[in-house]
């Protein structure tokens, strides 16, 4: 099953599912303290519009989400109504529906595991960011991927596993440089530090579970 076909199936339950990675990515988003006020905000792989909602609440004035799952986009539409422009596209290609370097902030949250390489998506995202614009990424940590974890969900008693690939810091650093971003620190989120707040992380004690960073386009 392709990732987008899987998310079509998952869409109606996605926001109701107690997902520890979503909880941690939301903490990373808050901790990043993105300059949202008045910003043009692009959410790459926007899913149900969770981050677009956070951006709207933070004062972003232009909200655009792009995703390949009609089911997820329908949820985003229901959440955001007229506030956001939602675009259906396969992120593996180019995204001609979006304007050129028009965005102050781009967000890629829990999306990159579905791609064999992060470089094409980061490069494509860079073409839509203004010079000096910032990119926020939250992604499953390579340690968790190496331990065999990947996006999955249960529907009608059946577990569906979606295509999932491991990406480490070296791959991110190389792809960021190639896409024209300044070097940045990549934070590793240890399950132990957040298990009190996100109880489902307890089973991952000892492992780094999320990688996150904010990179500035040169």
Q: Contact positions toward ligand SAM, by CB under 6 A?
A: 3-4, 7, 22, 25, 45-47, 50-51, 67-69, 72, 90-92, 109-111, 114, 151
DSSP string spanning 31-72?
HHT---TT-EEEEET-TTTHHHHHHHHTT-SEEEEEES-HHH
Between 42 and 110, whose beta carbon lies closer to ligand SAM?
A: 110
**151 vs 215, which CB is nearer to ligand SAM?**
151
- Crossing angle for the helix pair 70-80 and 3-14, to the nearest 10 degrees: 40
Alpha helices in 119-160 (DSSP H): 119-127, 142-146
Give least dist CB 92 to ligand SAM, A: 5
138 or 191, CB closer to ligand SAM?
138
* CB 128, min distance to ligand SAM, A: 15
Rounded to a whole number of angstroms, the minimum distance from the CB of residue 69 to ligand SAM is 3
Q: Hey, what are 198's tokens?
A: 């996100």
Instruction: Yes or no: say if 211 and 188 are a contact pair by the CB < 8 Å rule.
Output: yes
Contact 172, 118 (CB under 8 A): yes
Minimum gap (Å) between residue 48 Cβ and ligand SAM: 6
């Amino acid at each position: 099953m392709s990732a987008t076909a899987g998310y079509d199936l998952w869409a109606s339950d996605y926001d109701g599912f107690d997902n520890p990675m979503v909880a941690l990515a939301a903490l990373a988003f808050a901790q990043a303290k993105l300059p949202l006020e008045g910003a043009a905000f692009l959410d790459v792989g926007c899913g149900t519009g969770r981050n677009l909602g956070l951006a709207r609440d933070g004062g972003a004035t232009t909200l655009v989400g792009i995703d390949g799952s009609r089911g997820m986009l329908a949820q985003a539409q229901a959440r955001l109504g007229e506030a956001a422009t939602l675009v259906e596209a396969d992120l593996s290609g180019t995204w001609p529906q979006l304007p050129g370097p028009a965005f102050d902030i781009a967000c890629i949250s829990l999306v990159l595991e579905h791609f064999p390489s992060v470089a094409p998506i980061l490069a494509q995202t860079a073409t839509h960011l203004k010079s000096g614009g910032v990119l926020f990424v939250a992604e499953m940590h390579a340690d968790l991927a190496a331990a065999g974890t990947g996006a999955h969900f249960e529907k009608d008693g059946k577990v569906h596993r979606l295509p999932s690939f491991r990406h480490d810091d070296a791959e991110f650093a190389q792809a960021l440089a190639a896409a024209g971003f300044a070097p940045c620190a990549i934070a590793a989120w240890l399950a132990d530090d957040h298990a009190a707040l996100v109880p489902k992380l307890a089973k991952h004690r000892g492992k780094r579970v999320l990688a996150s960073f904010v990179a500035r386009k040169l």
